[in-house]
């Protein structure tokens, strides 16, 4: 269908909708049933049974199954059946882990689902984009991400960035006129906006012509790669590590098998043990557990209002060394209230609940309220609901006027807004052209006082307009500084009557030779929780920098109040920053804690300088113009409430509550997730080292095998499964936020972990062997007893060692019962061990025999050694060499 060629009436006809009232609610529901949800079809899901079967795809598992078949052929039915059972259990465990990982990732995707403003049954309302249908009348505003194909009906200055569809990264101008040519490419359809593209500027209204897979984006959807599912750098590094471990495990296992055969052990038994050992030693569960830990961590972050859009951000968060944060709404509450007015009549503060005196401030309050986006919208749509008032700064201006009995409807009854030049954070001001009842036209401008003053030539005081002498200007500047030092956000208001016949074509022509009217000063109380969060970040070696468009003194006052600006800290303005050379910038940034009056381009430059100094930078933003800086930072953070879709699209993390302290929580969670991954890798690998070494040492010493194949497989199933998972859910150590950030290039084995794995693994192997040898020495003919003791020692040593893995310090540093999942996992493993040893029916299967109390004492004493011997060693270390206590 050539939607771009249809006139409005034809569109109404074709899509069966009235553009003024929109679809009826019922009609929209019926269409939704008919055409389906407005979403792109996901990649085909792997069905459950296939996911389950995939668990057995692993080469080693296949070899194990082959070995089992051989042992069955040799008449070892019980062994064969048990191995099959264990392999299936292993598969189920792997399946549960992977399934859980996939489910949690799906849940995350849903959370980030976008919304749309549509007109239904005559009312504007916000709906999930998935519920939009062809025929819906939608509103587009700068910053929106478009999620359906739309034919524009009205467009004021609309620019769209369509690189996702056309590859063209420069925004293109849109209009609502009919196009005549039928043969036009997507990029040339200037009266249409497409799903997957972004509105960077302006506002407009359009009608949806296609949704879901029918959109242009839908048509190429199968070509898009699903980037959110990509592996994180850590996952990539781990799969590399996995390959190395497999090689290592195979070499060692082969050695065990060859040595065993050379010593005269039966070949088939050695092969079975060898394959079992290889299965046990290869950490096949690693990738799934990492995904589960990442996904569960991400869910915990959501509970704390941080939505992760890109999984790798979870890791990067743990490395963040600088947070560049907006001020308004993030470090402050964004609950603005005008508390001071300064004009030609001097400075007036508002007494707690009392309004300003109307007679004295009428013009400043009226013009301040008239020159707002809310006034512009209210004029277009008088029935507009109050909650649509979005910008707190403008709300404050209106509230101050209303409190003094100057209501917006009464202002709009007396004035008509003819034109508006909206606020943006580059210009830091906004203007309207209005006509009053007497037919006089004038420009009203409001904005950042320092910039506005440059455009004023006259001042109005006590109803008289005078020349704005340099001295007078100086006085006004002093008053503004006084207000800013009290942490007030200041907005100046100025105006200019238009000469007869004068037309205004651009903001530039409007905003000059203005008459200064006054300044409104508003408080925006700091968020109390920000103070603690900044302190905690500082202890964690993370510097917080405030980056704001606000006045230098206002920013500094708030920064001091929340403990962000130390005595020696610098406050730098965008202008000062731009005047500095690259070398000066590099030096300056080390001491700078507040950047004031910056533009979004400055933000980008600040990120670049910080990154060039080796920092890992987290940067917040909300506007369209913030997107480049958000993308350039290591962790772009968008505001969930006030942020535009464009900013959200460009970021890795979204703060649902716009709150600074949420960033702190996310960083803490990020650090913890990484530590937890390290914890279970440490546990799994040390256990595997122990298992391989005990077998290797035994064959090297010419002894019988300390463990039979089934025991090895059982250990792999029980100890590698639940306790490892539980470690992944461990609580953070108390000192996670007292350490400097980890380097992003740090090896997973850094900070002594490699040594810990080898030393503990070695000891686990040695004590198991000692248990085995002691038992054989006492009763040389009772191999099953010796094997049971070795089996119990190995399992118990691992189950004690798991608590040691919870901390970078020693086992004494943490309450062992704190992690209830771990306690449960360990307890159930112990119960299973006891069952396998004492149940008469299971004894022949697992080659075990009941142990006496004395034997258990030996087992427990030996099993404690790997963990406690080395922990004890640290206890006696000189204090200076002790690692920081957890």
Kindly list the residues in this chain that would bind ligand ATP in the complex (CB under 6 A): 326-328, 391, 393-394, 423, 425, 428-430, 446-448, 489-491, 548-551
* Phi, psi dihedral angles at 39 (to 5 degrees): -135, 160
Q: Which residues pair with 201 in a beta bridge?
A: 159
Instruction: Please say which residue, 553 or 669, places its beta carbon nearer to ligand ATP.
Output: 553
Count of other CB atoms within 10 angstroms of residue 419: 16
Tell the smallest beta-carbon distance from residue 547 to ligand ATP (Å).
Answer: 6
- Helical segments of 263-340, H only: 267-281, 286-303, 312-317
- In whole angstroms, the minimum distance from the beta carbon of 639 to ligand ATP comes to 9
Smallest gap from residue 662 Cβ to ligand ATP (A): 16
Using the minimum distance from each CB to ligand ATP, give the nearer residue, 3 or 595.
Answer: 595
Q: How far is the CB of 104 from ligand ATP (least distance, A)?
A: 33
Give me the least distance between CB of 105 and ligand ATP, in Å please: 32
Residues in the chain: 886
Q: Cα–Cα distance between 114 and 146 in angstroms, integer?
A: 9
Residue closer to ligand ATP, measured from CB, 136 or 550? 550
- Nearest distance from residue 423's CB to ligand ATP, in Å? 4
Chain Cα centroid distance, residue 36: 30
Residue 326 is among the residues annotated as catalytic for this protein: yes
Q: In terms of C-beta distances under 8 Å and separation of at least 24 residues, what long-range contacts does 702-705 make, across chains too?
A: 702/263, 703/772, 703/773, 703/776, 704/265, 704/776, 704/783, 704/786, 705/260, 705/265, 705/269, 705/273, 705/787
> Which residue is catalytic, options 79, 144, 149, 326?
326
Q: Which residues contact 434 (CB under 8 A, 6 or more apart)?
A: 370, 415, 416, 417, 418, 441, 442, 444
Q: By Cβ distance, which residue is nearest to ligand ATP?
A: 549
Q: Considering the complex, state which of residue 327 and residue 455 has its C-beta at the smaller distance from ligand ATP.
A: 327
CA dist., res. 630 & res. 603, Å (int)? 9
- Residue 429 in contact with residue 448, Cβ under 8 Å? yes
Distance of CA 760 to the CA centre of its chain: 36
Tell which phi-psi region holds residue 683, choosing left (phi > 0), alpha (psi between -120 and 50) or beta: alpha
CA 635 to chain centre: 8
Q: Which is nearer to ligand ATP, 218 or 368 (CB)?
A: 368
812 DSSP 8-state letter: G
| Pairing between β-strand 489-497 and β-strand 570-573 as defined by DSSP bridges | unpaired
Measured from the CB atom, the residue of 626 and 649 that comes closer to ligand ATP is 626
Nearer CB in complex with ligand ATP: 86/491? 491
The CA-CA-CA angle for residues 277, 767, 238, to 5°, reads 45
With helix as H, strand as E and coil as C, how does 633-660 read? Answer: CCEEEEECCCCCHHHHHHCCEEECCCCH
Give which of 752, 861, 760, 740 is closest to 802, Cα–Cα. 760
State in angstroms the smallest separation of the CB of 568 from ligand ATP. Answer: 23
Residue identified by tokens 């668990």 is: 55
**Nearest-5° Cα angle at 284, 294 to 281:** 130
Supply the minimum distance, in Å, between the C-beta of residue 182 and ligand ATP.
43
Which helix (H) or strand (E) segment is 520 a member of? strand 514-523
Matching residue, tokens 């085995």: 772
Shortest distance, position 743 Cβ to ligand ATP, whole Å:
30
Residue with tokens 């600040």: 606
Residue in the structure block whose two tokens are 């005269």: 264
| Least distance from ligand ATP to the Cβ atom of residue 449, Å | 7
> How far, in Å, are 653, 722, 729, 799 from residue 824 at the CA level?
34, 9, 13, 12
Residues 6 or more apart whose CB falls under 8 angstroms from that of 879 comprise none
Q: Supply the residues annotated as catalytic.
A: 326
């Amino acid at each position: 269908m050539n939607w771009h060629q249809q006139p409005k009436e034809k569109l109404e006809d074709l899509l069966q909708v009235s553009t003024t009232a929109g679809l009826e609610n019922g009609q929209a529901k019926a269409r939704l049933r008919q055409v389906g949800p407005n979403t792109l079809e996901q990649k085909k899901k792997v069905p459950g049974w296939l996911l389950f079967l995939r668990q057995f795809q692993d080469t080693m598992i296949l070899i194990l199954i082959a070995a089992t078949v051989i042992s069955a052929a040799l008449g070892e039915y019980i062994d064969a059946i048990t191995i099959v059972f264990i392999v299936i259990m292993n598969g189920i465990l792997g399946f549960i882990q992977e399934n859980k990982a996939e489910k949690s990732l799906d849940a995350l995707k849903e959370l980030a689902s976008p919304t749309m403003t549509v007109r239904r049954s005559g009312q504007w309302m916000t709906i999930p984009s998935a519920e939009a249908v062809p025929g819906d009348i939608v509103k587009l505003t700068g910053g929106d991400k478009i999620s359906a194909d739309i034919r524009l009906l009205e467009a004021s200055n609309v620019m769209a960035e369509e690189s996702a569809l056309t590859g063209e990264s420069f925004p293109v101008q849109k209009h609502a006129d009919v196009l005549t040519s039928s043969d036009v490419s997507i990029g040339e359809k200037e009266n249409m906006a497409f799903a997957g593209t972004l509105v960077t500027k302006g506002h407009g209204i359009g009608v949806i012509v296609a949704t879901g897979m029918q959109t242009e984006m839908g048509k190429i959807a199968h070509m898009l790669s699903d980037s959110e599912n990509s592996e994180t750098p850590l996952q990539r590094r781990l799969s590399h590590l996995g390959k190395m471990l497999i090689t290592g495990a195979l070499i060692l296992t082969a050695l065990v098998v060859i040595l065993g055969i050379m010593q005269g052990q039966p070949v088939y038994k050695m092969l079975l043990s060898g394959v079992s050992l290889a299965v046990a030693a290869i950490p096949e569960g690693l990738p799934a557990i990492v995904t589960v830990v990442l996904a569960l961590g991400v869910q915990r972050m959501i509970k704390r209002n941080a939505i992760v859009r890109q999984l790798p951000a979870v890791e990067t968060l743990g490395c963040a060394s600088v947070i560049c944060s907006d001020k308004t709404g993030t470090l402050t509450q964004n609950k603005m209230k005008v508390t001071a007015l300064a004009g030609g009549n001097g400075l007036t503060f508002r007494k707690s609940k009392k309004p300003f005196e109307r007679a004295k401030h009428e013009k400043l309050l009226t013009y301040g309220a008239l020159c707002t986006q809310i006034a512009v919208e209210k004029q277009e749509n008088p029935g507009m609901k109050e909650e649509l008032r979005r910008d707190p700064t403008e709300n404050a201006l209106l509230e101050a006027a209303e409190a003094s009995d100057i209501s917006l409807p009464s202002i709009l009854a007396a004035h008509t807004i003819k034109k508006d030049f909206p606020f943006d954070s580059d210009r830091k001001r906004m203007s309207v052209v209005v006509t009053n009842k007497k037919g006089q036209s004038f420009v009203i401008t409001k904005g950042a006082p320092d910039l506005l003053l440059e455009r004023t030539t006259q001042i109005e005081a006590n109803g008289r307009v005078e020349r704005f002498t340099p001295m007078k200007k100086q006085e006004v500047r002093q008053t503004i500084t006084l207000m800013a030092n009290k942490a007030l956000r200041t907005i100046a208001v100025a105006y200019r009557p238009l000469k007869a016949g004068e037309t205004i074509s651009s903001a530039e022509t409007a905003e000059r030779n203005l008459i200064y009217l006054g300044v409104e000063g508003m408080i925006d109380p700091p968020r109390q929780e920000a103070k603690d969060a900044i302190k905690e970040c500082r202890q964690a070696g993370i510097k917080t920098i405030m980056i704001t468009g606000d006045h230098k003194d206002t920013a500094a006052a708030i920064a001091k109040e929340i403990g962000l600006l130390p005595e020696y800290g610098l406050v730098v303005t965008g202008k000062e920053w731009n005047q500095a050379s690259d070398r000066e910038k590099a030096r300056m940034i080390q001491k700078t804690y507040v950047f004031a009056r910056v533009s979004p381009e400055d933000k980008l430059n600040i990120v670049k300088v910080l990154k060039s100094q080796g920092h890992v930078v987290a940067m917040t933003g909300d506007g369209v113009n913030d997107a480049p800086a958000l993308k350039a930072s290591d962790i772009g953070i968008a505001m969930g409430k006030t942020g535009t879709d464009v900013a959200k699209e460009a970021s890795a993390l979204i703060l649902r509550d716009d709150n600074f302290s949420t960033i702190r929580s996310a960083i803490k969670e990020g650090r913890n997730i990484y530590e937890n991954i390290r914890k279970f890798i440490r546990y799994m690998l040390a256990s595997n080292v122990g298992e391989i070494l005990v077998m290797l040492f035994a064959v090297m010493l010419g002894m019988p095998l300390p463990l039979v194949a089934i025991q090895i497989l059982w250990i792999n199933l029980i100890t590698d499964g639940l306790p490892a998972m539980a470690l992944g859910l461990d609580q953070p150590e108390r000192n996670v936020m007292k350490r400097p950030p980890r380097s992003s290039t740090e090896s997973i084995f850094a900070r002594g972990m490699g040594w810990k794995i080898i030393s503990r693994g070695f000891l686990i192997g040695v004590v198991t062997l000692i248990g085995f040898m002691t038992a054989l020495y006492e009763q040389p003919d009772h191999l099953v007893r010796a094997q049971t003791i070795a089996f119990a020692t190995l399992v118990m040593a691992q189950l004690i060692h798991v608590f040691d893995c919870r901390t970078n310090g020693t086992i004494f540093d943490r309450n062992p019962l704190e992690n209830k999942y771990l306690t449960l996992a360990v307890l159930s493993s112990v119960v299973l061990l006891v069952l396998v040893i004492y149940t008469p029916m299971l004894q022949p299967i697992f080659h075990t025999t009941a142990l006496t109390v004395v034997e258990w004492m030996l087992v427990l004493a030996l099993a404690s050694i790997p963990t406690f011997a080395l922990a004890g060693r640290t206890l006696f270390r000189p204090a200076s060499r002790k690692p920081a206590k957890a």
